Structure 1
Amino acid sequence: MLLSMGTDSTAISNVLGEKPYRPEHLDDLLAQCDIDAASEITYYIVSPTIYCHLNAAVPILRLYFEDGADLRPRLQLSRQSIQSLIAAVKPECDHGWEKDVEVLVFVYWLAHAASYWVVSLAFNIPKSTVHDIVHRMSKAVIGILRQLIAFHSADDLEAVGAGFAQLAGSPAFRVVAGAIDGCHICIKPPASDVQCYFNRKLFNSVQLQAITDHQGKFLDIFVGYPGSVHDARVLKNSPVYTGRLFPPAGKCILGDALKGTYIELF
């Protein structure tokens, strides 16, 4: 906010000192400057603006701005998915970086499992900025997680069943509400529990269990169990199983043989 009034600028400087001006200091400012409350004061409200723009000369950003360019090889997501993510997170700021850069930095970091240093080189921005973006975006994505990953309604399950039946080439699959499987996410394990995270595929990991529909859309995720834990045990301890959250009565989910014993109990 800029303040315009007929008074000595030196007096105002003496009041403000080294501190940045804040609107809540206005009353003290007027009192110490001995300004009559009835004096004419004009306020100019200046909205913050975006003062940091994407550098289109950076290779990854040049690819992003190239119409029709396939982003999957570099970001593991389609252009449409990235645009949807940008629209979904809606960063609450009207200054600093354009929101595109925060989403792109975050997605690049995820896609390459790279260090902050590597990402900072890829985007030509400070490592500390990458750190801040990753943490800010992680919180934003977690905040909207349940809006994006959720089970279908009873009405939608009919279409899901029809989709599975078409994929399988059999009407028997109309009762299928989803498919379940897991994967191992490579990690650097804690020094005190290395063996717990060492999986049967001979690397350290945490496990991700996911349920998807016939189109591959995530309906539920459960992540965090060490890599050495059996798939069936992960399922048995997941909220979807302990809470009997899915599938509804009369429906089933598809899984491999390792999960079969427990899936029958859904």
Structure 2
Amino acid sequence: MNVLRQLQHLQRVQDINYNRAMRRERVFRDRDNPFDCLSDERFRMRFRLSKNIVHVITDMVRANIEQPTRRNHAVPCELQVLLAFRFYATGGFQLTMANLHGLSQMTVCTVFKRVTNAIARLRPQYISFSNNEEMNDLKERFFNIAGFPNCVGAIDCSHIPIIGQGENGQRSNNRKGWSSINLQAVSDSKCRCVNIVAHWHGSVHDSRIFDNSVMKQSFE
């Protein structure tokens, strides 16, 4: 009996040591590099942008998204940008995207926020309406395109799908019955966005967005 108890005690000690070792062990999966493993065509299909454009954007936001340390296998800047673009293009589940790259769902969520904020900070450099000195040239370019006089921009609204939640979730339901943000955008003659309004619920009519926009006030 004493021998049996000793064997049982030894087995319990081995089990405890094994469990502790398993908890301490951290396994980092290899993260495939889409720049290397995907052709140009497949890359564009997945991320809606070319490899060169993604490299350019990554360099623009690198200072705001790069981690100060490589401890714990920090996510490289290029992969952070690709994760964000993949989410923008497909609206896929965070957990699914995390599993594909060997990351946690919380890490992917943090990456989305970090990259989105970094890109948003670039807005003043690339999204601005033409000043008075450029108006005549803008009118001329629009006239040359379609013979439309005194046009300084093309405006329209588009519904961006979201997940409606909370007490005000119904306010996000558009006329087609699904939740969205009604985004107003203005482009110039070269198809560049020069003004964006993206904070109205899907239930709001296009005309109300324009009536309350800074752009209308500036024209008046």
Separation in 1, partners of 2:82, 2:141: 33
| Superposition deviation, residue 154 in structure 1 | 4.3
TM-score of the aligned structures, taking structure 2 as reference length = 0.73
C-alpha spacing 1:145/1:138, structure 2 compared with 1 (3 Å): same
Quick check: 1:60–1:123 contact (8 Å CA) kept in 2? no
Q: Which runs of 4+ in 1 moved over 6 A?
A: 58-61
Write out aligned runs for 1:60-209 (5 A): 62-63=37-38, 66=39, 68-69=40-41, 71-92=43-64, 93=66, 95=70, 96-168=74-146, 170=147, 172-173=148-149, 175-209=150-184
AA aligned to 2:172 is Y
- Greater CA deviation, 213-222 or 85-94? 85-94
Q: 1:218 matched to which residue of 2? A: 193
Pair 1:54–1:164, CA change in 2 (3 A): farther
Runs of 5+ in structure 1 lacking a partner?
A: 1-51, 247-265
> Which consecutive residues of structure 2, in runs of 5 or more, have no partner in the other structure?
1-27
RMSD across aligned C-alpha pairs, in angstroms? 2.7
SS of match in other structure, 1:203: coil
Segment of structure 1 superposing worse, 150-159 or 177-186: 150-159
Tell me: CA distance 1:208–1:54, structure 2 relative to 1, closer, same or farther (3 Å).
Answer: farther
Which residue identity lines up with residue 201 of structure 1 in the other structure?
K
State the SS of the aligned residue for 1:103.
helix
Letter in 1 for 2:211: K
Confirm or deny: 8 A CA contact 1:70 1:78 kept in the other structure: no
| CA-to-aligned-CA distance 1:166-216 (integer Å, 9 cap, x gap) | 321x2x43x322111111111121232233222112211111100111222
What displacement does 1:108 show?
0.8
How much has 1:53 moved relative to structure 2?
11
Name the CA distance, whole Å, in 1 between partners of 2:135 and 2:36. Answer: 40
TM-score by structure 1 length? 0.61
8 A contact 2:35–2:51 mirrored in 1: no
Give the number of aligned pairs.
187
2:125 alignment partner AA: Q
